[in-house]
């Protein structure tokens, strides 16, 4: 087996076959990829923006608290600082600065400059930002169950127990010197919450659900008239009469339905006109042929008279056969489900009553949608043709997938391979390769093929290795 054949078969098996399923899969794939790329691109931007906003708010609070502490009695200062602290930021007054030196980076110096403009002249501010890469692999993000354990730590121990106070490493240290020499220290460890993944998954799920519903409804509006169109086209191929379709769906589908209705009307009128013309010609030929035959009776030369009468009789037979075919085609027979085995048994019984050898074998009950009388005529022509040239005929009927298979075997001399398709042409006879007695006028197999094709089937002839001819008819079983 080809190495690429198996993956292709697997892909063909997994890939949905309907238009709605394919569109849904493609849209869902596009949504998932777009969401994944958006998260990957904008996640850090969102995090940086949140952190920056929190730090700016913290710096403003620190400046305001430093001004408030200058005007607040010492007895109330600790209570105000405790009320201003949270699990993300801790404020306290100490004799030593938490940030021992001013920040030296460009960003730290810029923030220190902004704060100095809001502070009293001469006030010193130290600000140190601890970058994430300096934090090490032990850092973790904030969780909702983190508690502000700084309340349980004595004020004197807070500068030495920041880990215990923050319950996580700090990312910013800020110290503002007061007029009395003490330092307002601020330690923060702000992290954006990590629960955004669930919200993103809910958003993705809702988007996918709405996409499936919208595409399903939209595609159903398109595919429903297309399914009706496919069913009508199949019935038209079988020669069944049907009412014109009502255009529905989008403009393009309505245009397609209208074009199909026009095509069906033109084809029906074309076939009817040709059939009526054939019937008219065959009918009109009766009179001159009969007149010529009467005139031929008065010819004195016996040999010429007999040949002329024989030729005229043959012409009359052709005319009658063509007229019968035209009349049968003009009659509108209603299509229905028929038991193929019973149909073949009836034909075989008629041949057995005439003393011919004809047997039927069916593996199971086979129901086919057809015009029973027309199909019976086609199969009778095929079987009679086999009996005429092959003496004995055996028939086998079976199902293969969505087709009914009829195989007719005879014991005749067969047909040259290069002439197998010629016998289906009207008025073609191969008596030199089949029999000394023609027994027909060459319309039987042409009529058979026409009827089989009108039922959406096909017929093939092949020579058997054991001798004789095999005719294989395939008919669709329908849905």
What CATH code is carried by the domain that includes residue 321? Answer: 1.10.287.130
What CATH code is carried by the domain that includes residue 392? Answer: 3.30.565.10
326 and 373 housed in the same domain: no
Instruction: Determine the 3-state secondary structure of 331 from DSSP.
Output: coil
| pLDDT tens digits for range 222-261 | 788 888 888 888 777 766 677 888 888 788 888 988 998 8
360 and 267 housed in the same domain: no
| pLDDT tens digits for range 301-327 | 778 888 888 888 777 777 777 776 666
Mean pLDDT of 355-382: 88
Task: Between 68 and 315, name the one with better pLDDT.
Answer: 68
Average pLDDT, the chain: 76
Domain boundary among 303, 330, 357: 330
| pLDDT tens digits for range 141-187 | 433 343 334 445 555 555 444 444 445 555 778 899 988 888 998 88
DSSP assignment of 367-397 equals EEEE-HHHHHHHHHHHHHHHHHHHSEEEEEE
321 and 422 housed in the same domain: no
* Residue at 57 is within a domain: no
* Residue at 160 is within a domain: yes
Domain boundary among 305, 330, 355: 330
472 and 353 housed in the same domain: yes
Q: Residue 158 and residue 149: Cα distance in Å, rounded?
A: 11
Number of domains in the chain: 3
* Residue at 289 is within a domain: yes
* Residue at 149 is within a domain: yes
356 and 408 housed in the same domain: yes
Q: Are 57 and 172 in contact (CB under 8 A)?
A: no
471 and 388 housed in the same domain: yes
Burial 11-48, CB ≥16 within 10 A → b, else e: eeeeeeeeebeebbeebbeeeeeebeeeeeeeeeeeee
* Residue at 355 is within a domain: yes
Share of the chain above pLDDT 90, in %: 6
350 and 323 housed in the same domain: no
304 and 322 housed in the same domain: yes
Q: Are 47 and 192 in contact (CB under 8 A)?
A: yes
* Residue at 153 is within a domain: yes
Domain boundary among 188, 221, 240: 188
Residue range of the domain that includes 164: 71-188
Q: Residue 96 and residue 101: Cα distance in Å, rounded?
A: 11
* Residue at 437 is within a domain: yes
295 and 341 housed in the same domain: no
Q: Are 308 and 299 in contact (CB under 8 A)?
A: yes
179 and 276 housed in the same domain: no
């Amino acid at each position: 087996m080809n190495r690429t054949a198996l993956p292709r078969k697997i892909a063909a098996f997994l890939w949905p076959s309907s238009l709605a399923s394919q569109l849904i899969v493609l849209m869902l794939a596009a949504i998932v990829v777009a969401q994944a790329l958006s998260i990957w691109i904008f996640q850090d931007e969102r995090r940086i923006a949140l952190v920056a906003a929190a730090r700016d708010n913290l710096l403003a609070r620190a400046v305001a608290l430093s001004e408030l502490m200058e005007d607040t009695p010492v007895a109330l200062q600790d209570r105000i600082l405790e009320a201003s602290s949270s699990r993300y930021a801790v404020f306290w007054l100490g004799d030593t600065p938490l940030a021992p030196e001013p920040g030296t980076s460009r960003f730290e110096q810029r923030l220190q400059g902004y704060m100095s403009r809001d502070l009293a002249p001469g006030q010193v501010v130290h600000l140190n930002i601890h970058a994430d890469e300096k934090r090490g692999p032990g850092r973790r993000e904030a969780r909702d169950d983190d508690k502000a354990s700084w309340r349980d730590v004595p004020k004197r121990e807070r500068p030495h127990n920041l880990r215990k106070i923050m319950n996580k490493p700090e990312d910013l240290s800020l110290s503002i010197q007061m007029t009395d020499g003490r330092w307002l220290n601020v330690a923060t460890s702000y992290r954006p919450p990590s629960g955004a993944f669930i919200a993103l998954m809910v958003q993705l799920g809702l988007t996918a659900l709405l996409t499936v519903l919208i595409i399903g409804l939209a595609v159903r509006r398109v595919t429903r008239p297309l399914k009706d169109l496919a069913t009508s086209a199949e019935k038209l191929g079988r020669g069944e009469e049907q009412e014109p379709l009502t255009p529905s769906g989008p403009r393009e589908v309505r245009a397609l339905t209208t074009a199909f209705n026009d095509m069906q009307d033109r084809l029906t009128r074309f076939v009817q006109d040709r059939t009526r013309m054939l019937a008219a010609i065959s009918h009109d030929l009766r009179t001159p042929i009969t007149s010529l035959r009467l005139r031929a009776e008065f010819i004195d030369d016996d040999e010429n008279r007999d040949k002329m009468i024989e030729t005229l009789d043959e012409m009359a037979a052709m005319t009658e056969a063509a007229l019968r075919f035209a009349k049968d085609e003009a009659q509108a027979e209603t299509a229905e489900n028929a038991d193929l085995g019973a149909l073949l048994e009836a034909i075989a019984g008629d041949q057995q009553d005439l003393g011919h050898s004809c047997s039927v074998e069916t593996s199971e009950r086979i129901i086919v949608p057809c015009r029973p009388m027309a199909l019976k005529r086609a199969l009778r022509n095929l079987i009679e043709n086999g009996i005429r040239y092959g003496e004995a005929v055996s028939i086998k009927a079976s199902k293969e997938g969505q087709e009914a298979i009829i195989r007719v075997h005879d014991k005749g001399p067969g047909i040259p391979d290069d002439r197998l398709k010629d016998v289906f042409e009207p008025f073609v006879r191969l008596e030199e390769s089949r029999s000394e007695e023609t027994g027909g006028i060459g319309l039987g197999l042409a009529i058979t093929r026409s009827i089989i094709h009108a039922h959406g089937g096909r017929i093939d002839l092949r020579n058997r290795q054991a001798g004789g001819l095999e005719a294989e008819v395939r008919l669709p079983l329908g849905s």
